[in-house]
């Protein structure tokens, strides 16, 4: 939940035009893993095999591309740059071969605006997109929804990409029962949405924060709703 709020804050502020620097640092090290004795907790990862460490996914991708061969990991330790060669360990995940550095990574952001999100008794990352929309609504003039009752779900990363969640069918009915008439669903969940949309609610699909904003603004301004992306005939 904390990571989700941080990513949502970064995505919202970037959408609003703010510069939001970020860094990826080592949070934990597997004592029996590939990086034991090579990397240290709080090392800031700057590159892998010469490619900038722009995201955790980018780091994972470079490690997988090496297919078990040693990779050069650039880092900063107490502000001093360095690099080390790490040979990833092979493992299995869901029947697939993966290669691991043996570290837990944490992404942090230097937010130019203090953002506080108050939400009790809720866990998981699925509210990320709605957090981001709420921040933009709060920091923008007027009412982003135009008084319409929206609900939605979806993870979000700092670049504004919306990802899938679990239990979307139940969330659709819960949103309808709470009075929502419009629902934002991750595009990646559309196969679970089609044929399961309750009466009284209209579903739009989204894959980015920008796309979600377009939906809200189109509804608010009385635009052509039929031109907006949906999850197919079920929406």
Higher local confidence (pLDDT), 82 or 122: 82
Of 162, 158, 159, which Cα lies nearest the Cα of 129? 162
34-77 tens-digit pLDDT: 999 999 999 999 999 999 998 888 999 999 999 999 999 999 99
Mean pLDDT of the chain: 92
**Residue 234 scores a pLDDT above 70:** no
- Length in residues, the chain: 235
* Tokens matching residue 70: 């040693």
**Residue 1 scores a pLDDT above 60:** no
d(CA 154, CA 166): 9
Q: Helix (H, G, I), strand (E, B), or coil: what is residue 77? A: strand
Of 106, 122, 113, which Cα lies nearest the Cα of 10? 113
197 DSSP 8-state letter: P
Question: What's the pTM?
Answer: 0.81
What's the mean pLDDT in 129-146? 93
**Residue 89 scores a pLDDT above 90:** yes
> In angstroms, how far apart are the furthest CA atoms of the chain?
60
What's the mean pLDDT in 164-189? 96
Q: Do residues 47 and 74 lie in contact, with contact meaning Cβ atoms separated by under 8 Å?
A: yes
What's the mean pLDDT in 197-215? 96
């Amino acid at each position: 939940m904390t990571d989700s709020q941080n990513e949502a804050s970064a995505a919202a502020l970037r959408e609003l035009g703010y510069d939001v620097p970020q860094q990826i640092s080592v949070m934990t090290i597997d004592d029996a893993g590939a990086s034991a004795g090579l990397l240290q907790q709080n090392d800031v990862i700057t590159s892998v095999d010469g490619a900038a460490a722009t995201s955790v996914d980018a780091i994972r991708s470079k490690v997988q591309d090496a297919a078990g061969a040693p990779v050069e990991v650039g880092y900063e330790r107490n502000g001093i740059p360095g690099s080390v060669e790490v040979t990833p360990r092979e493992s299995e995940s869901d029947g697939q071969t993966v290669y691991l550095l043996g570290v837990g990574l944490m992404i942090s952001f230097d937010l130019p605006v203090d953002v506080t999100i108050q939400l009790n008794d809720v866990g998981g990352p699925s509210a990320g997109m709605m957090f981001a929309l709420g921040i933009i609504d709060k920091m923008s003039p007027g009412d982003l929804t135009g008084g319409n009752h929206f609900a939605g779900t979806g993870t979000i990363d700092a670049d504004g990409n919306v990802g899938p969640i679990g239990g979307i069918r139940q969330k659709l009915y819960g949103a309808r029962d709470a009075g929502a008439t419009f629902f934002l669903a991750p595009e990646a969940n559309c196969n679970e949405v089609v044929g399961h949309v309750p009466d009284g609610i209209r579903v739009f699909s989204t894959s980015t924060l920008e796309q979600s904003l377009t939906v809200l603004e189109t509804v608010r301004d009385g635009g052509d709703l039929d031109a907006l992306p949906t999850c197919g005939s079920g929406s």
